[in-house]
Amino acid sequence: MILRIICVVLITVCSLGWAEKSTAQIVDLKHAVYAELGGSAGIWSVNYDLMALNINNFKIGARVGFGFMTEGYAGTTIDLHIPLTVNFLYAIKEKHHVELGLGTQIASYEIRSVKTATDTGFVRKTETLGNFTFGYRFQNPDGGFMFRVFYSPFFYQDGINFRYEHWAGLSVGYAFNRGGKRSSKPQEK
């Protein structure tokens, strides 16, 4: 369900970007690489972020990350977390942004499975968790140091129960421009 929502949002955003060709500004592709403590991948992650559309003070992009950890119990393997998010930024000032995001986390982890009083083994579980992001981002349009602090709760279906877990995060990294300027205005021939 979450993946369907993300696909609809991406298609809508792309459609709006191409439909508004006459009002969109010249866009530099903005990239960022950052480490995140807490946030959309649980404990920590390394992320790549791309801001691909810039209309006035609004910016739209996407992010993918990778995080892993282990519980440390004998017989367990590494837990893997992959956050995927669509980001919407509003520039308050040139370097200061309000950030909203909607995404999912693909999580593959081991949990304790008690079948009998003597069996305390582990079972691998893979699921998708939804999440949204609301926070502050410092990112210079020319690149360089970037910083994020945000509220990022998880929501998911656990059997018949809907779960909502409060969570937050902090990101520090580096932003850069790549690929030159790209105009979303139609080219004249």
pLDDT of residue 1: 53
If we measure between CA atoms, which residue out of 140, 114, 111 comes closest to residue 124? 111
CA atoms in the 13 A half-sphere facing the CB of 46 = 2
Q: What are phi and psi of 129, to 5 degrees?
A: -115, 135
Query: Could you tell me if 82 and 118 are in contact, meaning their C-beta atoms sit under 8 angstroms apart?
Result: no
Distances (CA, A) of 61 to 84, 99, 115: 11, 11, 45
The mean-pLDDT minimum among 65-69, 86-90, 135-139 falls in: 65-69
What residues pair up with 125 in beta bridges, in sequence order?
A: 109
Number of neighbours of residue 68 by Cβ within 10 angstroms:
18
pLDDT of residue 159: 79
147 pLDDT above the threshold of 50: yes
19 pLDDT above the threshold of 80: no
* pLDDT digits 0-9 by tens, 21-39: 444 554 557 899 999 999 8
Q: Which whole number is the average pLDDT over 136-156?
A: 93
* pLDDT digits 0-9 by tens, 73-101: 666 788 899 999 999 999 999 899 999 99
Length of the chain: 189
Q: Which whole number is the average pLDDT over 45-57?
A: 91
pLDDT of residue 169: 95
Domain segments of the chain as ranges? 2-14+28-176
pLDDT of residue 5: 53
139 pLDDT above the threshold of 90: yes
179 pLDDT above the threshold of 60: no
d(CA 58, CA 52): 11
pLDDT of residue 161: 87
CATH tag, 2-14+28-176: 2.40.160.20
The whole model's pTM is what?
Answer: 0.75
Q: Find the angle CA(85)-CA(66)-CA(86) to the nearest 5 degrees.
A: 5
Specify the higher pLDDT residue, 55 or 133. 133
Sign of CA dihedral 129, 130, 134, 140: positive
Q: Which two tokens stand for residue 24?
A: 């969109």
137 pLDDT above the threshold of 50: yes
**Which residues, in sequence order, are CB contacts of 43 under 8 Å at separation 6+?**
37, 67, 69
